[in-house]
Structure 1
Amino acid sequence: MDFFSKGYSALVGEGKNLQQTPELTIQKLTDRVSASTLIEDRRAAVLGLKGLAKEYKRIVGEEALDPLLSLLQEEYEDPSLIKSILETINNLITTEEY
Structure 2
Amino acid sequence: MADHHTYGTSTHTASELVRLVSDRLGLVFTERHSDFRGSYHLARIPDGRIEIQPNPIPGDDDEVDLYAPEHAAAQVLLLTTTPTAHPALQAGLDSIEGLTHLNHETT
Instruction: Confirm or deny a common fold (TM above 0.5).
Output: no
Q: Which has the higher contact order (CA 8 A, sep 6+)?
A: 2
What TM-score, normalized to structure 2?
0.26
Where is the helix percentage greater, Structure 1 or Structure 2? 1
Where is the strand percentage greater, Structure 1 or Structure 2? 2
Task: Give the greater-gyration-radius structure (CA).
Answer: 1
